[in-house]
Amino acid sequence: MNYLTRIKRVQRPLKKNEALLLAAPRYNPNAYWLTGTEAGYALLFTRDQAELYALNEHADYSNKKIKNFTKKQLPEFLKQNKIKALYCDATSLATAHEHAPKLTRKIECLRETKDEHEKKLVREAQRATKQIVSAALQKNLYGNTTNRIAGLLELQARELGHALDSFPPIVAVNADSATPHATPNNEKYRKGDVLLIDCGCTAEKYCGDYSTTVYEGRNPKILETLDAIKQAKKAAEKLAKPGTKAHELTKAAKNVLQERGLHKRFDEIGLQLGHFIGLEVHDCARRLNDVTLKKGMCFTIEPGVYGDYGARFEDVTIL
């Protein structure tokens, strides 16, 4: 990880006599992206320098050059550097400043494009997630509650050396699956049911996110719906190239579903076609639909239909 390059990108918009403060007692994606430090830190940036302070004197930062952060450190730093404007990351412990949301958004927007190592980690997280779901589906899951199936996915992840911790796994059947982010419960999965699974592993804190819908019945309408969603996903993926406005992907997926006469589509119930993914499963500040795609972006494409049951197919695209 080239942390120095990232820090310089954050420093670039700062003017002379301006500073940025981040401080948190626990893991924070912005700070981790900048330093690789997970907890107990304070970061102070000026246009020309960056300093890392320990919030916890017992924390192990033996591999980093740091100082202890006390109540006196901030005013002394501001005085020594003749700082006239102090900005704070909105996720920090620092007192909120009127510019904080803009600066937080600025850092998160920088995280939209990943370097090669970051892309490798997202790719690994996604590969592991799909391997886990595939292994679980090879077992006879009939008769299990959705809660137990979620537990089996988590166990499968551990047995393969991973953690299914991008977010709590979503497992739902029939009417429950019509709730896009349903919580597993005691509803049993039976032959002929529609089963929706959505989960994600992590690789060095970078997230995976994969959804699939399983149906082994013969209802032609359900089979046609599942095929239409798969085709909608393919139509969007075909357009996923640098320079394309992301809303064109949404339009392509929506058009396929409209042409097949499907209602209660993802866009009709307020869902996006996809989202950025990285250190957070819903990464970065902006909606995917609002950006022009660039090399290095990692995002999901996940069209779905939600009526008497829910159906969704999702995978990660890496540019």
> 24-28, 71-75, 105-109: lowest mean pLDDT where?
71-75
**Which contiguous run of DSSP H or E holds residue 135?**
helix 116-137
Bridge-based pairing of strands 304-306 and 310-312 is antiparallel
Residue with tokens 């239409």: 228
How is residue 38 written in tokens?
């997970």
Contact 312, 299 (CB under 8 A): no
Closest residue by Cα to residue 297 from 312, 307, 286: 286
pLDDT at 33 over 60: yes
* pLDDT above 50: residue 65: no
Rounded to 5 degrees, φ, ψ at 256 are -60, -45
Q: Check if the beta carbon of residue 166 is closer than 8 Å to that of residue 199.
A: yes
List, for residues 246-267, the tens digit of each pLDDT value: 999 999 999 999 999 998 889 8
Average pLDDT of span 126-136: 97
| Token pair recorded at residue 278 | 């990285």
**pLDDT tens digit string along 139-180?**
999 999 999 999 999 999 999 999 999 999 999 999 999 999
pLDDT reading at 97 higher than 70? no
At residue 226's C-alpha, the angle toward residues 293 and 278, to 5°, is: 35
Binning pLDDT at 50, 70 and 90, where does residue 115 land? Answer: very high
Nearest CA to 55 out of 67, 65, 64, 72 is that of: 67
pLDDT digits (tens, 9 = 90+) for 190-224: 999 999 999 999 999 999 999 999 999 999 999 99
pLDDT band of residue 62 (cuts 50, 70, 90) is very low
pLDDT of 200: 98
pLDDT at 56: 57
Q: Tell me the mean pLDDT in the region 182-190.
A: 98
Q: Give the helix/strand (H/E) hosting 316.
A: strand 315-318
Q: At 129, which helix (H) or strand (E)?
A: helix 116-137
Please answer whether residues 253 and 236 qualify as being in contact, where contact means their C-beta atoms are separated by less than 8 angstroms.
yes
Q: Give residue 4's pLDDT.
A: 85
Q: Which domains does the chain show, CATH number per domain? A: 3-110 (3.40.350.10), 116-318 (3.90.230.10)
Among 66-75, 96-105, 295-304, whose mean pLDDT is lowest?
Answer: 96-105
Quote helix, strand, coil % in the chain, to nearest 5.
35, 20, 45
Which tokens belong to 80?
């020594």
pLDDT of residue 90: 65
Output the six-digit token pair for 291: 């950006």
Distance, in Å, from the CA atom of 23 to the CA atom of 8, rounded to the nearest integer, reads: 18
A 10 A CB-CB count for 145 gives 16
